[in-house]
Amino acid sequence: MIGVLDGEKIHHDIDGVLNGLVAAGEAKAKHRHLAVTHADGKRWVLVGLGKRDELDAEKVRVAAASALGRARELGAGRLCWEVPHKVGSEIAAAIVEGTLLSAYRFDRFKSKPPEDNGGPDALVVSAHDDLTAVVTQAQIVARAVNAARNLQNTPANEMTPRHIADAARGLRELKGVTVEVEGREGLQRLGMGSFACVAQGSAEEPALITLQYEGPNASGPLLGLVGKAVTFDTGGISIKNANKMSDMKFDMSGGAAVLGAMEAIAELRLPVRVVAVVGATENMPAGNAVKPGDVVTAANGTTIEIINTDAEGRLVLADCLTHAVNRGAERLVDIATLTGSIMTALGNTHAGLFASDDDWAAQVAAAATTSGETVWRLPLHDDYAKALDSDIADVMNVNEARKAGSSVAAQFLQRFTADVPWAHLDIAGTAWGTGKPYAAKGGSGWGVRLFVELARSLTR
């Protein structure tokens, strides 16, 4: 695989064949354009990368995914990418990520293994400099993203809260990681009436999962990562429309991203301190399910009037955020498939970013840019908080007028952050079915790469 940059010759040509392909117009610098030729007993795929001054890691991930598709068609067993000359190490990392993410397949429930196993057996990265560490780290991150995707794509009868907890317990094998799991009794003991009310309609035991990691020579603020993991969301008594309800197995995508990020951060041995909290439950209708009009009390003492039981994610996150603060988090980020409104606003391209602190918002946004998981900051105006005023409790869980739904939901969450610098990522549009070449179908693992970059930024 050789990248073609606009106006530049291919440096390591083979008897003029490769540059001849460019001169003939068969190979082009247009992004993702592919051309195949044979020379020196090998097959060569020339991959359009565009203009050098516009080249970034995300464009390379996408190009690498397209190139893998062609390699798959050619039946290649071994793939070698030549890193373009005079680019940053992030380009080599992006080649690895784009290739490994697009090679991902979820075929656990196929009775016959597919003929297409995802791609070549080996990936070689060729460069003038020693990029062993860069390539190894990129492999770790990509593997963690794919692990999160496995959690996402597993059907809800197999991926219950206890299975999320088991996945978290598996991370105990990593150095520096501890894991604690509390069930229904633990929620009651901790006063988590908000989280517990979502779980009360399900026969499945909920799981409050707390992970802590301390890397070698760790410094900087204690980073708190909080993920929503509703393993299936019917909407509860405020039941959803049946159309596309099967997609609600993806309502645990925030929790999956947190677990994937913790795996990568620990394997990379980053010198940071992290506390991660994942709230796992089903949201089901039943005789004992929480009802519209009920009032519950959250762990921080806030009373909440339940207006709509399908606004359950914020109820889970409320107590999980309080728990992260109580465990000492000095910077907070929560991630959740929280509102349909964010899909209307931003589609599948950006996640919504809300934040209480401008500096922290900028740091999260910078990590998003580096990781290629783009965000767009949306407002947290006091008027949105007023929309949640309740006549009989401290706050309602949703305003039925449904105006500015994503901002109103974020204002609800902010009440549980205790003035710790906090950011909220609404990933309802980016968690699955993004259409990106390296994650076109199913779960995307969105957020794992962002959280790894954010953790790295705390060490600089």
Q: Which residue has the tokens 């910077």?
A: 331
Per annotation, catalytic residue among 43, 72, 162, 240: 240
Segment 46-50 long-range contacts (CB within 8 Å, at least 24 positions apart): 46/2, 46/4, 46/10, 46/18, 46/21, 46/22, 47/1, 47/2, 47/3, 47/4, 48/3, 48/4, 49/3, 49/4, 49/5, 49/84, 50/5, 50/6
Strand order from edge to edge, sheet including 295-297: 295-297, 303-305, 395-396
Tokens of 13: 């040509």
Q: Does the annotation mark 314 as catalytic?
A: yes
Q: Does the annotation mark 291 as catalytic?
A: no
Are the beta carbons of 215 and 270 closer than 8 angstroms? Answer: yes
DSSP-derived 3-state class of residue 230: strand
Tokens of 310: 């399908």
Torsion of CA 125, 131, 134, 139, to 10 degrees: 30
Residues in Cβ contact with 58 at an 8 Å cutoff, skipping those fewer than 6 apart: 94, 372
Per annotation, catalytic residue among 184, 314, 331, 415: 314
Are the beta carbons of 414 and 327 closer than 8 angstroms? Answer: no
Single-letter residue type at 110: K
What gap in Å lies between CA 200 and CA 238, rounded to an integer? 15
Q: Tell me which residues are annotated as active site.
A: 240, 314
